[in-house]
Amino acid sequence: MIALIDCNNFYVSCERVFAPSLRNKPVAILSNNDGCIVARSQEIKDLGIKMGTPYFKAKKIIERHKGAVFSSNYELYGDMSNRVMSVLRTFSGKTEIYSIDEAFIKVPEYRQNDPENFSSEIIRKVYKWTGIPVKVGTAETKTLAKIATELVKKDKLKQLYKILLNKREITQALKKIPVIDIWGIGKATADTLNEHGIFTAEQFTALDEQFVRKKFNVMTARTLKELQNIPCMKIDEQPQPQKNLCYSKSFGSPVTEYSSMTESVINYSSNAAAKLRKNKQKAQSVTVFITTNFFNKKQKQFAGSKTLSFPSAVNSTEAIVHYALKALKLIYKNNCCYKKCGIILNELISEDIIQPDLFETDNPNDEKISEVMDKINSKYGKGTIKLAGEGVNDACWKMKRNMLSRNYTTRWDELLETD
């Protein structure tokens, strides 16, 4: 038996924990650069504002309803997520953190005779200990557990949990779910299914496995079996180490100068390198990409990317910045109005794997310098020490975060300063 725990409007809930006056008001959270709406309270949804709506299109209506809007505060959400997950671990020895706001847990044997009570205990304890409201879906497969939480959302059930164990109830449930809402079925597959006259999860579940396997792929066939209550996906406690790491952001305002572009590439590379070291990994190659604003139809469009391999796996800021700048030089085109750039570190391996550098081009001091920088930044706050090439704090390309809340749970010094 598997339970899926899903935090309700997670980012919104995090902000509300520290601003209780917002509990019954419309609250929206914006993407980087304060661009799109990426999380919505129920009140915002009720205003008809869709996920991903550009903020400028929804601003007026939110203001009219006296709603609150926040820039996304990933430090806060990340920390709140850790708290929720540690509460969940008190319920089961087997938990899989699926995303920042969701986890699958295996229901322990001795709790399987009473999933209702088990669910409501989870909901109560997580709320009491963290302030975050969650919903719980229980079933014998992951995909059906997902369907169960979907039903809680859709039907606005009195209970914040749903149990899908017996056959009749499963069939009833699947009738209410359009294929696009099935976990693992996206737009493309849903469109094809619709063309074949398949609209609900119940209709999909009746299909022949071989047909689905042929028409689509193994993943979709697996989803089918899971909906037929045949488990195909295990709870994955030890997620595989990450294979790529990407740090990319749109610019606050467009970049037209090579010097600004280098600043941002140095900054993004340093950030990516720091993340890599935090994950205790090294990269074997780096990709740099730059693009113009593709929403602007009148502008000349350009997108370039280049991947360079390191002589041996690295994670020092110095080495990564060096190669990223080399790659940038190869793709940069003058007279373009750039909107975005990004750094991808590829072919990641554990930093414990020692790979001798054949040509000994590494500078052994680089790693030590990076280590010291990490220590200083972790003690005194991100950005305390950085490369001069990263430019100043108010550089035009830096992302906009005009409505940022405080790091209530991770930076007490910051609170003391501002209060």
Q: Where on the chain is the footprint of DNA (CB under 7 A)?
A: 31-33, 35-36, 38, 52, 54, 56, 98-102, 146, 182-190, 217-219, 240, 242-250, 275, 293, 295-296, 339-340, 342, 399
Residue 244 or 363: the one with the smaller Cβ distance to DNA is 244
Residue 100 or 235: the one with the smaller Cβ distance to DNA is 100
Cα angle, residue 105 at apex, residues 23 and 245 outer, rounded to 5°: 80
Calpha distance 46→40 (Å, rounded): 10
**Dihedral sign from CA coordinates of 232, 238, 240, 245:** positive
- Minimum distance of DNA from residue 286's CB (angstroms): 13
Residue 110 or 295: the one with the smaller Cβ distance to DNA is 295
Q: Provide the strand spans (E) within 256-337.
A: 281-292, 303-314
Calpha distance 278→286 (Å, rounded): 17
Q: What is the largest CA-CA distance in the chain?
A: 68
Residue 186 or 381: the one with the smaller Cβ distance to DNA is 186
- Minimum distance of DNA from residue 51's CB (angstroms): 7
DSSP single-letter state for residue 81: H
- Cβ-contact 49, 61 below 8 angstroms: yes
- Minimum distance of DNA from residue 89's CB (angstroms): 19
Nearest to 116 by CA among 157, 67, 63: 157
- Minimum distance of DNA from residue 416's CB (angstroms): 29
Residue 39 or 373: the one with the smaller Cβ distance to DNA is 39
Residue 166 or 244: the one with the smaller Cβ distance to DNA is 244
What angle separates helix 167-175 from helix 142-155, to the nearest 10 degrees?
60
- Minimum distance of DNA from residue 193's CB (angstroms): 9
Calpha distance 38→51 (Å, rounded): 6
Residue 172 or 244: the one with the smaller Cβ distance to DNA is 244
Calpha distance 207→164 (Å, rounded): 21
The length of the chain in residues reads: 419
Q: What token pair was written down for 123? A: 């909901």
Pairing assessment for the beta strands 161-164 and 134-139 based on DSSP bridges: parallel
Nearest to 97 by CA among 7, 175, 179, 21: 7
Residue 36 or 255: the one with the smaller Cβ distance to DNA is 36
Calpha distance 10→135 (Å, rounded): 11
Residue 282 or 419: the one with the smaller Cβ distance to DNA is 282
- Minimum distance of DNA from residue 300's CB (angstroms): 15
How many CB atoms are located within 10 Å of the residue 13 CB? 24
